[in-house]
Amino acid sequence: MSSQGITVRKYASTGAGGRIERYTFVERVNHWIGSAAYLYLLLTGLAFWSPYLYWMAALVGGGPTARFWHPWIGVLFTASTFTMCMHWGGKMGKTDADRAWWKAISSYVRNEDESLPPVGKFNYGQKLWFWLIFYGVILLFLSGLALWFTESIPWNLRFLRYTAILVHVGAALLTIGGFFIHVYMSTFLEEGSFNSMIEGGVSTTWAKEFHRLWYDKIVQKTPAKK
Amino acid sequence: MSQSTLEIRAISGHPGTVPGAGVTREFEVCKLIDTSTCIGCKACEVACLEWNGLTFTDTVFQDSYQTMPDTTWNYWNLIKFNEHQRDDGSLMLLMRKDQCMHCEDPGCLAACPADAAIIQYTNGIVDFQQDHCIGCGYCITGCPFNIPKFNSKTKKVFKCTLCSDRVNEGLEPACIKACPTGCLHFGTKPEMKELAETRAKQLREQSGFKDAGVYDPSGVSGTHVIYVLHDASNPEAYGGLPANPHVPWSVKLWKGPLKWLGNVALVGGLVGLALHYLRFGPKRVNEDEPEKGGPV
């Protein structure tokens, strides 16, 4: 944790450009545990959502198996999300730079990144995604408990069952929307993004291009190198 | 049921019309429970266990004749006893045989996500197929009568089958067979409805139960188990029979507009992202190193 974000390393293979550590080993491991869990929850959840997607349950061992593991994997995903909150939660507050960046979001959508105001380690889009998952997980976990132990809810408190169904479905749909955008952006859209979550590093050019304020801070903290 | 497709349509070398052609047959079955002639003997409870091969579970004493508070996964038929005080101060012991109502518009079936885990026959019987059940418990949420019960060991949900196996062989359900007072009847829905109305009229005109009536709730488009109640204006007094049962609004919303909206949003989102990539392409980092082709 102490070295997080301030390590400048030279990668022989990258030639001229230096590499900056963006995600620590622990952050990356937790991220991929969360990803695998979410993917499982998505497949099984969509199987329970629509008869036309029920075949997805077959991919992970069939309906009963999927139903058995879905809540447990949900607990794992909740734990992973709270760990992410420990890693990144402190950096997810909205800043003035974010406000300026958000105003120019249409340039970001059009890939005109050079005309965007500079942002820190996470841009406001990433922060929104973070909070969407954070609050989404809280809702999904609580409503999920009610669906997990439906029969333990007394008959005269059955409104909890009815509420839980709608909350679980609603929160799931919102996070799925965010998940699609997140996966699209980090695999297809933004070069170097996916790699940063695998190797942990980004090129200095990448950092300058997308997260200028973060880059400046690291350069300040790091002893000048020739 | 399959016999219905074996009705004769044409006969070779046969003079005159086809015998029986054009005769309307009633396929919808119905169980009629006349609470006014039930004596609470529980023969139906025992018959249900016997026929369905269910083991007897411990009874729960709760200061009444009632075997246990509610039906369970292996106890599908339970008489609910209620000492009801009438307006004139006199007491009445209300007894109602509780079991699956076999709704025409079944909430369990609407809520179920598993292929073929719940089926509704043309004759109106709603049947759980445990082989296909995934144990999610959505049917428990969908039912307005608190009937489907979860077996936490096998992770399957169970309830009264209206003895679909017996009915398929032309027999009446086991509970009907066992009833010693004839308060249970089984037949086609119109027949049972007529019998029920006749009995309710009798109760109103000859026995002084001015509010006697038939319970066949329209909120679930009618049921294939109907009651004659001495006081149809207060079904809740009969061990919590809901006055106006319907599939929960949240289940209707979830399986209706929300599902439609969600599917459009999911597909629309994916299409939108694909279009974005085709229109704007990737965000490339302009590395200022001269050589190309090295690892990123």
Does residue B25 have a pLDDT over 70?
no
Instruction: Choose from A151, A174, A198 for mutation: most chain B CBs within 10 A.
Output: A151
State whether residue B223 is helix, strand or coil.
strand
Summarize pLDDT for B156-167 with one digit per residue, the tens: 999 999 999 999
The nearest CA of chain A is from the CA of B295 a distance in Å of: 6
Q: Which of B174, B173, B165 lies closest to B127, judged by CA?
A: B165
Minimal Cβ distance to A166: which of B254, B286, B291: B254
Q: Which of A6-15, A132-141, B192-201, B229-238 is least confident?
A: A6-15
- B250 token code pair: 């949240």
- A208 token code pair: 């300058």
Please give the pLDDT value at position B189. 95
Does residue A16 have a pLDDT over 50?
no
Burial profile A99-132: b = 16 or more Cβ within 10 angstroms, e = fewer: eebbeeeeebeebeeeebbbbbbbbbbbbbbbeb
With the C-alpha atoms ordered B257, B260, B265, B266, is the resulting torsion angle positive or negative? positive
Instruction: Quote the domain boundaries for residue A161.
Output: 8-221
The nearest CA of chain A is from the CA of B136 a distance in Å of: 6
Please give the pLDDT value at position B1. 46
Region label for B124, one of left (φ > 0), alpha (ψ between -120 and 50) or beta (otherwise): left
Q: What is the DSSP string of A18-51?
A: -EEE-S-HHHHHHHHHHHHHHHHHHHHHHHHH-G
Please give the pLDDT value at position A128. 97
Rounded to an integer, the average pLDDT of B229-239 is 96
User: Measured between alpha carbons, how far is B220 from B139 in angstroms, rounded to an integer?
Assistant: 15
Number of domains in chain A: 1
User: Measured between alpha carbons, how far is B210 from B229 in angstroms, rounded to an integer?
Assistant: 11
User: Could you tell me which residues are beta bridge partners of residue B149?
Assistant: B158
Rounded to an integer, the average pLDDT of B16-23 is 75
User: Measured between alpha carbons, how far is B106 from B159 in angstroms, rounded to an integer?
Assistant: 13
The nearest CA of chain B is from the CA of A81 a distance in Å of: 23
- A122 token code pair: 């996470």
Rounded to an integer, the average pLDDT of B24-43 is 91
Instruction: Choose from B70, B119, B134, B275 for mutation: most chain A CBs within 10 A.
Output: B134
Residue A99's CATH number = 1.20.950.20
Largest CA distance in chain A: 73
Does residue A12 have a pLDDT over 70?
no
Residue A130, domain member (yes or no): yes
Please state, rounded to an integer, the average pLDDT across all residues of chain B.
92
Q: Which residue has the tokens 């169904």?
A: A165
Largest CA distance in chain B: 104
Residue A70, domain member (yes or no): yes
Q: Which of A83, A73, A57, A60 lies closest to A1, judged by CA?
A: A83
Please check whether residue B135 touches A, CB under 8 A.
Answer: yes
Does residue B71 have a pLDDT over 80?
yes
Please give the pLDDT value at position B22. 66
Residue A42, domain member (yes or no): yes
Residue A2, domain member (yes or no): no
Please give the pLDDT value at position A9. 47
Q: Which residue has the tokens 């399959």?
A: B2
Residue A1, domain member (yes or no): no
Distance (Å) of CA A100 to CA A96, A106, A118, A119, A124: 6, 12, 9, 9, 10
User: Measured between alpha carbons, how far is B290 from A174 in angstroms, rounded to an integer?
Assistant: 43
Report percent pLDDT > 90 for chain B. Answer: 81
Q: Which of B52, B1, B30 lies closest to B168, judged by CA?
A: B1
Summarize pLDDT for A27-59 with one digit per residue, the tens: 999 999 999 999 999 999 999 999 999 999 999
Asked whether B149 and B159 are in contact (CB, 8 A), the reply is yes
User: Measured between alpha carbons, how far is A154 from A160 in angstroms, rounded to an integer?
Assistant: 9
Q: Which of B158, B137, B168, B129 lies closest to B57, judged by CA?
A: B158
pLDDT band at B218 (very low <50, low <70, confident <90, very high): very high
Which residues in A lie closer than 8 A to residue B271 (C-beta atoms)?
none
User: Measured between alpha carbons, how far is A150 from B9 in angstroms, rounded to an integer?
Assistant: 50
Rounded to an integer, the average pLDDT of A61-85 is 97
Fill in the DSSP letter of residue B243: S
Please give the pLDDT value at position A7. 46
Residue A191, domain member (yes or no): yes
Region label for B239, one of left (φ > 0), alpha (ψ between -120 and 50) or beta (otherwise): left
- B171 token code pair: 């027999």
Global pTM value: 0.88
Rounded to an integer, the average pLDDT of B190-207 is 97
Rounded to an integer, the average pLDDT of A62-86 is 97
Asked whether B202 and B214 are in contact (CB, 8 A), the reply is no
The answer to whether B254 contacts A51, with C-beta atoms less than 8 Å apart, is: no
Residue A3, domain member (yes or no): no
Instruction: Choose from A173, A193, A198, A210 for mutation: most chain B CBs within 10 A.
Output: A173
Please state, rounded to an integer, the average pLDDT across all residues of chain A.
90
Summarize pLDDT for B272-283 with one digit per residue, the tens: 999 999 999 999
Asked whether B287 and A203 are in contact (CB, 8 A), the reply is yes
Q: How do strand A19-21 and strand A8-9 relate by DSSP bridges?
A: antiparallel
Summarize pLDDT for A101-126 with one digit per residue, the tens: 999 999 999 999 888 999 999 999 99
Residue A95, domain member (yes or no): yes
State whether residue B30 is helix, strand or coil.
strand
pLDDT band at A178 (very low <50, low <70, confident <90, very high): very high
Burial profile B106-141: b = 16 or more Cβ within 10 angstroms, e = fewer: bbbbbbbbbeebbebbebbbbbbeeebbbbbbbbbb
Half-sphere exposure of A47 (CA within 13 A, CB side): 25
